[in-house]
Amino acid sequence: MNALIAEQSDFTQTHIDIENVHFTLLTGRGINESTPDPTRALEPMHFHSSYEVFYVASGNFKVATQENTFEYKKDSLIIVPPKLMHNTILEDNGTARYCINFFFEKNNVKSDSRLYETLAKLLSETIIHTSNAFSIYESFKKLAECIKNENYFKHSLYFHEFIVNLIELLAQEPLTPSYDALADDTVIRTHKLHNLISACYTQNISLDELANQLHLSTKQLNRIVKANYGCTYKEVIAQKRIKAATNLLKASNMSISEIAEKVGYGTLKGFYKAFDKFYDCTPSQYRRGTNEHE
């Protein structure tokens, strides 16, 4: 079963400027989570083009990568860097965690604070973990609750407070790198590429056409896609289409042929073949299995 790219196009984006940094805060489901789901360990791994930050409010929380599974306890802060394949797992009823995703780039504001340079240095080397992060709990909790309640007015205030506390915490406890994170320009490029693919995956846009839109040669873009996604452009499109199809199978009464057409397949045969490659079953079998578990 293939690994899937996280659907950050499904997230709500909030743009926040602090000093010389432009932040994109990505919010969706799972901001606060306390319901155990051990089956998540069996799902395909995914990655984001953003930083994913977790705070363990109680119990034990696991992050599985392709090489290892790490277990974190109460008051742990974990920052998963862009491009790292992973799953997150809640196994115990006593476990609760908060989560936010954000992406940042330098803006044109002149500032003496050098906030961008500070963040880039602190977040550029590793998947970060500190087991004594209680000092950041209140700001993290307020931000997560604000996001959950869609209180967009206070997003900027609480996010600013969170970033200040995060920098103070990380500066106090620098950690040894365990994974290589992406360079800043690569993170930005991946973010733009992923957004463009998310906007056109249902259309038959070729790699040549996409390269023209990004002002790159086809050869350059092909290397970038393989480096960032670990697969070909054709496989990236297939992943996006099948993920969209599974959402429609679970949440709609559309027929299989209607779903196939909506996600970009010209023939039903092609849709069935692609779906079987990812899930080892037909779309109808997948829908029946989903309904039986509800």
For the chain, 294 residues long, the average pLDDT of each consecutive 10-residue run is 44 82 77 70 71 89 79 88 81 81 86 82 75 84 79 80 87 51 50 73 84 78 81 89 90 92 92 92 88 56
Q: Tokens at residue 233, please? A: 């452009």
Domain that holds residue 207: 201-292
Question: What token pair was written down for 123?
Answer: 């977040």
Question: In one letter, which amino acid is 20?
Answer: N
Verify that 239 and 158 share a domain, yes or no.
no
Q: How many domains is the chain partitioned into structurally? A: 2
178 belongs to a structural domain: no
The span from the CA of 187 to the CA of 190, in Å, is 5
Same domain, 93 and 16: yes
Is 142 found in the same domain as 273?
no
- Does residue 93 share a domain with residue 217? no
Q: Are residues 93 and 220 in the same domain?
A: no
* Other Cβ atoms within 10 Å of 108 Cβ, number: 7
Q: What is the CATH number of the domain that holds 76?
A: 2.60.120.10
The pair of structure tokens assigned to 207 is 């790699």
Q: Specify if 217 maps to a domain.
A: yes
- 254 within a domain of the structure (yes/no): yes
In a domain, 195, yes or no: no
Last residue of a domain, one of 172, 190, 224: 172
- What does the pLDDT read at residue 178? 41
pLDDT recorded at residue 1: 34
* 190 located within any domain: no
Q: Tell me, rounded to whole angstroms, the distance of Cα 236 from its chain centroid.
A: 15
Question: 215 and 167 in one domain?
Answer: no
Q: Are strands 96-106 and 69-72 parallel, antiparallel or unpaired?
A: unpaired
Residue 11 placed within a domain: yes
In a domain, 185, yes or no: no
Answer yes or no: do 285 and 144 share one domain: no
